[in-house]
């Protein structure tokens, strides 16, 4: 009579073990899937690695990208679901470009699908069909000059170069800050924006590697507009240095830009 009893106990052990494993790891797996879904379709973090968007964005700014506004892209495809609106002139957008071997050369991602992709952040200046002209940091769109007003402020970058801060006004009541350094030669020229594409430019007009050099971008390469700074610090060291507690004390007391945390993107 004992053998059947043992068989019943053994049979019940397996479901009990599976339930225990699910209790321990199932919730974690579900949380991970939800986090990945949010990152893919709703919000994604991004770190500013360069000064091309000075003075709007600083090196070491960490921001959130709204991936839902233009329509979330289905992962591993170029298919984009319907969004709430189209990109507008003046939006600060994170998007993908193709980068050549060893970091040499930047290309529109759809024109070099053989190359690895890298995320950039710039401002939408040219909409589909626009003609954009840049001369000595002054901007005109479709033959209309965009007003620039001096703010009386100056901006000094980490290399010690000082530029004037101007407020540039774009159509539809959009305005934002740009840098102008008369001693530096930016990229001038006339740029025709093809249908279905956008011309992206940095606010640091005289020192920005942007669409004036390598071309225009499709909506399919847009991740979304930046909308919130969630962290900002002036950290240029290696990640290995983060293992030193003294580094953290210095960062939190002297190099964290507490006043920028929680700011929206102009």
What amino acid positions are annotated as catalytic residues?
52, 122
- Cα–Cα distance measured from residue 171 to residue 184, given in angstroms and rounded to the nearest whole number: 27
- Cα–Cα distance measured from residue 190 to residue 151, given in angstroms and rounded to the nearest whole number: 27
Cα Rg, the chain, nearest whole Å: 24
Q: Positive or negative, the Cα torsion across 95, 101, 106, 109?
A: negative
| Euclidean distance between the first and the last CA atom of the chain, given in angstroms as a whole number | 79
Tokens read off for 82: 């319907």
- Cα–Cα distance measured from residue 172 to residue 247, given in angstroms and rounded to the nearest whole number: 46
- Cα–Cα distance measured from residue 242 to residue 246, given in angstroms and rounded to the nearest whole number: 9
- Angle (CA) 159 133 98, round 5°: 60
Burial class (CB in 10 A: 0-12, 13-18, 19+), 194: middle
């Amino acid at each position: 009579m004992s053998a059947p009893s043992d068989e019943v106990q053994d049979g019940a052990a397996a479901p009990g073990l599976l339930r225990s494993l699910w209790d321990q790891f199932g919730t974690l797996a579900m949380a991970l899937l939800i986090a990945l879904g949010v990152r893919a379709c709703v919000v994604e973090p991004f770190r500013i690695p360069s000064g091309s968007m000075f003075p709007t964005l600083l090196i070491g700014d960490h921001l959130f990208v709204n991936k839902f506004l233009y329509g979330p892209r289905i992962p591993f495809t170029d298919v984009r679901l319907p969004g709430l609106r189209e990109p507008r002139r003046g939006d600060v957008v994170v998007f993908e470009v193709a980068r050549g071997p060893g970091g040499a050369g930047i290309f529109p991602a759809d024109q070099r699908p053989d190359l690895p992709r890298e995320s950039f952040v710039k401002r939408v200046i040219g909409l589909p069909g626009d003609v954009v002209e840049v001369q000595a940091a002054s901007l005109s769109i479709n033959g209309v000059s965009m007003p620039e007003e001096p703010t009386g402020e100056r901006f000094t970058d980490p290399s010690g170069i000082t530029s004037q801060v101007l407020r540039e006004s774009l159509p539809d009541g959009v305005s934002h800050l740009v840098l102008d350094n008369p001693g530096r030669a930016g990229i001038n020229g006339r740029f025709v924006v093809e249908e279905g594409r956008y011309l992206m430019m940095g606010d640091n007009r005289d020192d920005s590697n942007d669409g004036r050099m390598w071309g225009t971008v499709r909506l399919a390469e847009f991740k979304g507009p930046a909308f919130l700074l969630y962290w900002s610090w002036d950290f240029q060291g290696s990640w290995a240095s983060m293992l030193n507690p003294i580094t953290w004390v210095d960062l939190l007391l002297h190099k964290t830009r507490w006043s920028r945390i929680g700011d929206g993107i102009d």
